[in-house]
Structure 1
Amino acid sequence: MAHVVTCFVRNRGAVLLTRRSERTGTYAGRWAGVSGYVEGDPTDATADAWRELREETGLTEADLDLLAAGETVTVADEEGSFVVHPFLFESSSRTVTTNEELAETEWTDPTEIRDRPTVPRLWETWRRVGPTVDDVRTDRTHGSAWISARALETLRDAAAEADDWESVAAVGRELRDARPSMAAVGNRVNRVLATAERTPDAVVTTAIRELRAAFDAGDEAARTAVGRLRDAEATAVATLSRSGTVATVLRELDPSSLLVAESRPEREGVAVAESMAAATTGTVTLTTEAALPAAMTAAETAVDAVVVGADAVGPDGSVVNKTGTRVLAGAAREAGVPVYVVAASDKVRPAGEYRVEDEASPRGAVYDGDAEVTVFAPTFERVPAASVDGLATEAGLLDAAAVRRVAATHAENAAWDA
């Protein structure tokens, strides 16, 4: 039985589907992912996946992140018998250079797989690597914008397979409650279920629309922040933690100096500093939260603005973000430096709801010894509204009254399950 890889490449919620040409040995004219034979050890097909991506699309390790390798799918029909190894990659680009094995390519929503003539069991293959409720619940690497997009994809795929509204609603409840601190997850799921007709097909269509809108909102929020920083002539910036929207701001602004807090205990700031060193032309300095007050005023690392993301924004304008943000905001206020939060308005909590993330970092991230030491290591904390000088969203800089209006709308959407 031959082993093959099927690679799904995703960008902004869409995946790359390919139509196989007459030059392929099997399933000519059918739609597929990026696929090919495993030439090495089937237990380690990752190298084959990367090879097929390079040969068939021109995408390389510089363009892609490998996110998942799924359980295999077995196919047996008149064309042959195959063990399919599924992979999911995230791409920074939709530009592909195809070879003779592909007759056509299209970036489209994965649910299109169900309506096209595809290679056998392609939808099942996608589901082996597509996002799940558990992925949303357990992801401790990405920010809330990323995780909320995965929640919408999970809801979409569940609705595509569902026979009735109640089974879709049950998945929606799981997703809504999976990350209680990340307001965007609940708000986006609630909006889909509040505005779609109560049929699975309507939920699929609405989830796809909301997914596209979510990416656009992040882009617009970043533009708002960049505009404000340029108006303020900010050229030296400090940040903390991992936020895709903040990364977009920093790449576009390209400050002459960037100060990045390490972000204890899980040290996400290290990866932020590394990525920004590659993406910007200015000087990048990594520091600890304890050293922030000194670093923000030292001659070589002084800053004139702070930019952070948010996992949630309270109806009162307070911000919930990675632990360490409050230290950063306090140091900024002491130094007379403005603090800007960049976040889509879906990160505002519904009116009447307030909570701080009740998750905690693993004990071993702080102390792995044998002594009877209690560890206090919350993942998130609240930053008072008075410590924030501006909330940059897709709708512009929001003042307190605007935040309250957004919170009221989110509360209305949350009532779908009342």
Structure 2
Amino acid sequence: MATVGYPNLDSYTQNTLALEFPEPGPASVGMQQNEKKCRWTRLKRVMGQSLTSRSTSSVKSLKPLSPISETDSAIYSIRAGPSSVTEDAQTTTWEDSEYDKQLNEAVSGLKNDFVSGAREMADSALSSLSSLIVVAAAAALNRDELWNMTISAAKELSSARPSMNAAITSCLLGALDDLSKLWDSLDKKRNKPPDELAAMASRQMVRTLEKRKEAGMRLSENFAERLRAYCSQRLNNTHTLTILTLSNSSTIRASILTTLSTLRFLHLILLVLESRPRFEGASMASQILSATSAEARGRLKIHILPDCAVATVAKDAQLVLLGADRISASGDVSNKIGSLAAAVCIKTLNPKAQVVVVSDADKIVAKGVEEGEKETHPASEMLEGWGDETRRDLAARIVDGSVEVFGEWFEWVPAEYVDGYVTENGTLDTSGVEKVAEEIGELREKIFG
């Protein structure tokens, strides 16, 4: 299926977008109003419970959804009256609906994605929301019902991974704000059918993804320009820069690749901590090398190091490059375990070095929601790196409780250790971060309430 209206996209992108954003077809001729009412009846009975049932944990930044009462029916244009729908049909389980099936799959996908970075997960959540709007349109009687189903899905997607929900939530909030404005402009009489509104939403989501891609390119270019200025001021014409980094951030990968292609005078030594227990740092090193041109590869040297070597190598680095899964309104940064050690070591052992965070601005959260819930992973992730005999012996002791294995993945780096936040909108200081946090808070209140 081609993505009509976007002729400038290459065929691969068109096909990808077509799969992610299928054009909704017209409702079947046999769909009667009472059948749609039945589907919405099943939806409203569980909408207030669905967030809790699908999430393994709650997030303080989200208000719990309230059950939709019979008195709310007027708001959603649900009218009581004679119906030919049987009680058996009305009590069909929620789990049988296509909407719920797709929502469960999307939430589960986010919960179990330990490979993608926060930015990639936000894009995935946006794609899922677009598909869910299309499915919801078949059950909704009008625009208000479709909007409320959309908001409910967005809240569940944003709470699927509490430790990484900053980017997901901000991405969805921005997309929904744009969608609301689009519907207001093209449906002033508020009488367009849900399937037409869903088609508008699909096209709008495509545009949103395109804008996010452009924003990612600007961020990488901004980082390259910051390095250009840094090199002219500090490298004394040596043209060799040593950067220490860790984990596997799509933003860091793109920033390194853009730097190599833009600053052709620069020779880059990249010190990458392997980032246990899943060794994302090693994966990032491999991906960077695979995407680097032959010319740039001649100016790039990568050293993969055990996490415990961070103090040893920090004294040789001129820059610590961190991604971010969450940035508080005061500028503290939540990132993969090992980030704080890298920042503290380099500031202690090499005070002239800088700690730079590269991140989309949508990782910044509003005041009051800084602390995401701790994400703890199973002991098996660490056990996989041990010898067979040790693993067998300690696995039994873990089961009986005599041994505990640390499983937290994320930690906070205080703002005092950060020299700058490179975003798609330029480099921010802590006052700039606070301003973005205020804007995000206002948008959250507007969309989620």
- Give the TM-score band, short-chain normalised: 0.5 to 0.7
Q: Is 1:168 aligned to 2:186, yes or no?
A: no
Deviations 1:248-290 (A, max 9, x none): 1111223431100011222111112222344243211011221
Tell which deviates more after alignment, 192-201 or 154-163. Answer: 192-201
Matched with 1:222 is 220
Structure with bigger gyration radius: 2
Query: How far, CA to CA, are the matches of 2:427 and 2:382 in structure 1?
Result: 37
Tell me the residue number matched to 1:243.
249
1:357–1:381 Cα contact (<8 Å) kept: no
Q: Is the 8 A contact 2:376 2:409 kept in 1?
A: yes
Q: Rate the CA distance shift 1:114–1:196 in 2: closer, same or farther, 3 A.
A: closer
Quickly say closer, same or farther: Cα 1:131–1:208, change in 2 above 3 A.
farther
Q: 1:394 to 1:131 in 2, by over 3 A?
A: farther
The correspondence for 2:275, drawn from 228, 245, 263, is 263
Higher helix share: 2
SS in 1 for 2:271: strand
Q: Quote the residue 1:3 is aligned against.
A: none
List aligned pairs for 1:142-153, cutoff 5 A. Answer: 142-153=116-127
Aligned 8 A contact 1:264 1:324 in 2:
no
Moved over 6 A (4+): none
AA paired with 1:339?
A: V
Match of 1:79 in 2: none
Whole-Å separation in 1 of the counterparts to 2:301 and 2:15:
39
Flag structure 2 segments of 5+ consecutive residues without an equivalent: 26-97, 138-145, 184-193, 232-239, 261-266, 384-390
Mapped pair 1:349 → 2:356: no
Which stretch of structure 1 is more off in the superposition, 137-146 or 277-286?
277-286
| Structure 2 Cα separation of the partners of residues 384 and 345 of structure 1 | 18
1:382 maps onto 2:412 in alignment: yes
Matches within 5 A, 1:189-204: 189-197=172-180, 200-201=197-198, 202-204=200-202
SS across alignment from 2:374: coil
Report if aligned partners of 1:315, 1:403 keep a CA contact under 8 Å in 2. Answer: yes
The answer as to whether partners of 2:163 and 2:372 remain within 8 angstroms in 1 is: yes
State yes or no: 1:114 paired with 2:43: no
1:193 CA drift (Å): 2.8
C-alpha distance 192-256 of structure 1, shift in aligned 2 (>3 A):
closer
Note if 1:158 corresponds to 2:125: no
Q: Verify the 8 A CA contact 1:180 1:186 in the aligned structure 2.
A: no
Is residue 133 of structure 1 aligned with residue 107 of structure 2?
yes
Q: Which has the higher contact order (CA 8 A, sep 6+)?
A: 2
Measure, in 1, the Cα distance between the counterparts of 2:274 and 2:252: 15
One-letter amino acid of the structure 2 residue matched with residue 187 of structure 1? S
Partner of 1:287: 305
Question: Is residue 345–residue 393 contact of structure 1 (8 Å, CA) maintained in 2?
Answer: yes
2:355 to 339, 345, 370: 339
- Could you list the per-position Cα deviations for residues 230-255 of structure 1 after superposition, in whole angstroms to 9, with x for gaps in the alignment? 21116211110011110011112234
CA deviations 1:156-205 (Å, max 9, x no partner) are 11012222222222211111211222211011112233443376535434
State the shift of 1:106 in Å.
6.3
Where does residue 100 of structure 1 map in the other structure? none
> 1:205 & 1:264 partners in 2: Cα distance?
40
Question: Does residue 406 of the first structure (1) align with residue 426 of the second (2)?
Answer: no
CA separation of 1:314 and 1:271: change in aligned 2, threshold 3 A: same
RMSD after superposition:
2.9
Instruction: Calculate the TM-score normalised by the size of structure 1.
Output: 0.68
Distance 2:210 2:105 in 1: 16
Deviation at 1:316, TM superposition (A): 0.4
* 2:307 is the counterpart of 1:307: no
Read off the aligned partner of 2:376 and give its amino acid letter: A
TM-score (norm 2): 0.63
Q: Which amino acid aligns with 2:336?
A: K
1:218 maps to amino acid:
G
- Fraction of identical pairs, as percent: 26
The structure whose residues are more often strand, as a share, is 1
Gaps of 5+ in 1: 1-16, 20-30, 32-92, 97-104, 117-123
The 8 Å contact of residues 377 and 407 in structure 2, kept in 1 or not, is answered as yes
Relative distance call for 1:312 and 1:194 in structure 2 (3 A) is: same
